[in-house]
Structure 1
Amino acid sequence: MMPVVRLVPKYTDSNGWWETLPQAPSPRVLSGQIRVQTAIIGGGICGVATANRLAELRPSDEFCLIEAERIGNGASGRNAGFMLNLHSHGTPKKLDILRRNIKLWEAGLASLRRKVEEWQIPCDWSNDGRFYGAAGPDGEKHIDEIAETLDQLGHDYTWFDQKAMRERIGTGFYSRGLHAPGNALVNPAALMRGLARNLPRNIDVYENTPVLGFERESGAFRIRTAHGTVLAERIVLAAGAFLRQFGIGVGKFVPMGTYASLTAPLNERALAHLGTGQEFGLLGASAYGATIRLTRDKRLFVRNLFNFVPGAPLGAARVAEIAKLHRKAMAARWPALAEEPFEHSWGGVMAFTLGNGTIFGEYQPGLFAILTHDISPMTRGEAAGGLLAEYMEKLDSDLLSVQLSIPAPQRLPPRPFLDVGVALKSAYLHYVAGREF
């Protein structure tokens, strides 16, 4: 019995990354019946990367990429736009796992950087690295742990005391900061649009086309949408937190909502309160600390709060309520900007697994699936998507061996025990974040 999809991505909020771009061309919606060798379901970073590599490896095949929303307005276009080569909040880490993950993050970052340069994707790509900010005694402890981890891994960084942080970003809110080079900052919606626009010609892209289910038929898969069908010899499921709607990963990951707000471009008077007024990206030293960015077009971005969203996607009313927390976070850091209005507020859904496990491989004959543990999701997803394509074509490489060494996700407790556990863990991380929230 093949799955019937009961929940599809449908966002009703205002994704600032998407809304500040030029208007996208009208979507191509699937209608009628088509036949392809491989269909990729999900137009996030994993799906787009898989599709691109498959089409490179099989230039004479026909492919289709099916996205329920607009590419760039799903989870991969709703994040904070950090293209990370390494990420570690405070608290001790298992260095062997970090070293393994770094190989994937660095490969994904190099791939994205090459595509952006080669295809001239206008996504405000910046190689400026990232700050970590510590506020209060807990933050001081966490930032020391980050520095210790970077030392053990042999990665460079530069300390910023409170005065230097104030000079650079205009606030004494952080008692100390640390700048780590290597990663990029982007508008993630623009990046995703550009990656999709430059896919090889043997991929047909369909947007605003939720998949409602699929079944096997005469040695192929029949994929059903509202207005059309696809007959495919192979399917790749790359639907992120919606993967469980297709019967894959059920009970193996937790869908967590996170929320962001973005101001209008700041005028010169407002920018005078932001230190040098140059673009920056800052992560809290603790896992629950607020993420702050000043974008290239001089908008302030604030992201914080994680909560369990089993009924994802997120409603506009919930997002509007959480925007009040963003206002408090901005006022605490820059009191002079307390009344600066947010132009957009939105949410996104990420999938977290126990033990850093990933969903990767062939789950039934001809049915492949991919889901990365959501730490450094963009660079890791870029790498994993390309590697899944190579795995499907029975290619081998050292990097694929690294990917295959990652364990499958551990099974989670059933609800309502899961709800209680996630709520307790979230409350604890919120407490640990302290002032950085």
Structure 2
Amino acid sequence: MIKVSSLPSDDKTCGWYHLSKKRAANPAHSGTSRARWVIIGAGYTGLAAAREMAKNFPNEEIVLVEAQEAGFGTAGRNAGFAIDLPHDIGADDYIGDLHTANMALKLNLTGQQILKSIVDEHEIDCQMRESGKYQAAVEGRGIAILEAYQRGLDKLGQSYETISGKDLSEHIGTSFYKQGLFTPGTILIQPSALVKGLADTLPSNVTLYENTPITEVNYGEKITLGHANGKIITDNLILANNAFGMRFGFLQGTMLPIFTYASLTRPLTTDEQKSMGGKDFWGLIPADPFGTTLRRTHDNRILVRNSFSFNPDGRSKQKYLDRFIDRHRQSFKNRFPMLSNVDFEYTWGGSLALSRNHQGFFGKLAPNVYGALCCNGLGITRGTVTGTLLADWCAGDHNDMIDSLLTSPKPNGNLPEPLLSIGVNANLWWNQKKAGLES
């Protein structure tokens, strides 16, 4: 018997969640149930796995268990970039090995296509737009990263547009940056609205239990998942809960729950929109990974996301929200001085499951236990495609993407505590400081 030592607990101030369409959560599980397949985690990976598993086993009930409410947790808290291009931060040109990069591109494009198909079929209102993305830099280090990435994109044969700082303001309404790069393949979405829509359009043979945190697991010929109000007995278990997979006894000491933080303004007035200029909908990621991500949303709000913390238990901490909101205000002021009277309406945190070697896990964890874990910040596209492919593999299918995922390197091990926390916190502090004006 394994006691699950830490359970998801996110802050209640996520703007995406509150601004997306309200929905009634599915009932929590109670009593004793039995199923052939149970999936833990109703984020992008778990929702995709459940949807595909339902197609592969149309006469079976597929059980999907979520500790919180669909759209409230990690999957609904990111910046909403469904990215197509590979971005290997360990490679000099951010592309690295061409074979690996082309497979990453294929996986990401497949994830995008799966999501577009579902959104179109079910008319999910998640402000999905094929808008592309900007990357920008203001300091020499960031500009060097942009130039290296251009060389990588040339090697990969992908299109892009370079934009000078003076021209970039016509695109995003700020003259803060000195150089920009636009790539056309990214899809922007409202992440909580998408997750809610995916949850509410699952096939009829998927049973979703929300607000059902699993507190203990007994592995054996049958797997028993216990919680406060009952238990679920299953033949097969799929873990799609990222870093919390470690709490279920697998990949322990390999994943890092890193939280990043975002703030969202009130809607801009008509006059404020005119004073800002630029396009009415866009997204920008920093050249420096520790810089600031920006979005202008469909309802004319500005999103600012930066700052990181290492939360080993995977749970939100109010002290970081209180600490980082001032950094958000300064980053916003630096970029949009013409909007000095605009304040934030929401500030929240959300976790990333990272590994030190930037690798995820896909495949079999133990007899009758499978997982697609550790998306390394690409949850929307990579979680969607790996969840889908894992369900296909469990049904006996094979293709080049599945084979690539099965044979890819796995997350490597971390240092023991307290060395791990000392090292990660020092790394986060130094890299955020080194980002300078990019933050």
TM bracket, shorter-chain basis:
over 0.9
SS in structure 2 of the partner of residue 148 of structure 1: helix
8 A contact 1:271–1:277 mirrored in 2: no
Which residue does the alignment assign to 1:29? 28
2:375, 2:42 → 1: CA distance?
Answer: 17
Which residue does the alignment assign to 2:245? 243
- After TM superposition, the structure 1 stretch with the greater mean CA deviation from structure 2, 22-31 or 187-196, is 22-31
- After TM superposition, the structure 1 stretch with the greater mean CA deviation from structure 2, 270-279 or 293-302, is 270-279
For the pair 1:293 / 2:295, whether they are aligned, the reply is yes
8 A contact 1:13–1:345 mirrored in 2: no
Structure 1 consecutive aligned stretches of length 4 or more whose deviation exceeds 4 Å: none
8 A contact 1:138–1:434 mirrored in 2: no
Cα displacement (A) at 1:216: 4.0
1:367, 1:215 → 2: CA distance?
Answer: 12
Deviations 1:323-366, CA, capped at 9 Å, x for gaps? 11111100000112234111111001111112232222222211
RMSD, aligned CA: 1.6
Which residue does the alignment assign to 1:213? 216
8 A contact 1:128–1:280 mirrored in 2: yes
1:190, 1:309 → 2: CA distance?
Answer: 26
2:75, 2:15 → 1: CA distance?
Answer: 13
Q: How does 1:14-53 map to 2 (within 5 A)?
A: 14-53=13-52
2:88, 2:331 → 1: CA distance?
Answer: 19
8 A contact 2:13–2:346 mirrored in 1: yes
- After TM superposition, the structure 1 stretch with the greater mean CA deviation from structure 2, 55-64 or 394-403, is 394-403
Name the aligned partner's letter for residue 177 of structure 2: Y
Cα displacement (A) at 1:378: 1.2
Cα displacement (A) at 1:151: 1.1
SS in structure 1 of the partner of residue 435 of structure 2: helix
Which residue does the alignment assign to 1:85? 84
Cα displacement (A) at 1:277: 4.3
1:137, 1:363 → 2: CA distance?
Answer: 44
Which residue does the alignment assign to 1:405? 407
Deviations 1:230-271, CA, capped at 9 Å, x for gaps? 111111111122111111111111110100011111111221
SS in structure 2 of the partner of residue 211 of structure 1: coil
Which residue does the alignment assign to 2:274? 272
1:390, 1:111 → 2: CA distance?
Answer: 14
Which residue does the alignment assign to 1:416? 418
Give the TM-score taking structure 1 as reference length.
0.96
Name the aligned partner's letter for residue 93 of structure 2: P
Which residue does the alignment assign to 1:320? 322
8 A contact 1:221–1:231 mirrored in 2: yes
- After TM superposition, the structure 1 stretch with the greater mean CA deviation from structure 2, 142-151 or 254-263, is 142-151
2:85, 2:279 → 1: CA distance?
Answer: 26
Match of 2:166 among 163, 175, 191: 163
Name the aligned partner's letter for residue 149 of structure 2: I
Gaps of 5+ in 2: none
Cα displacement (A) at 1:159: 1.4
Which residue does the alignment assign to 1:137? 140
Deviations 1:267-318, CA, capped at 9 Å, x for gaps? 1122123323410000001111100000011110010012211132112342
Gaps of 5+ in 1: none
Q: How does 1:166-177 map to 2 (within 5 A)?
A: 166-177=169-180
Cα displacement (A) at 1:119: 1.5
- After TM superposition, the structure 1 stretch with the greater mean CA deviation from structure 2, 208-217 or 56-65, is 208-217
Q: How does 1:282-431 map to 2 (within 5 A)?
A: 282-431=284-433
- After TM superposition, the structure 1 stretch with the greater mean CA deviation from structure 2, 84-93 or 128-137, is 84-93
2:214, 2:262 → 1: CA distance?
Answer: 28
Cα displacement (A) at 1:161: 1.1
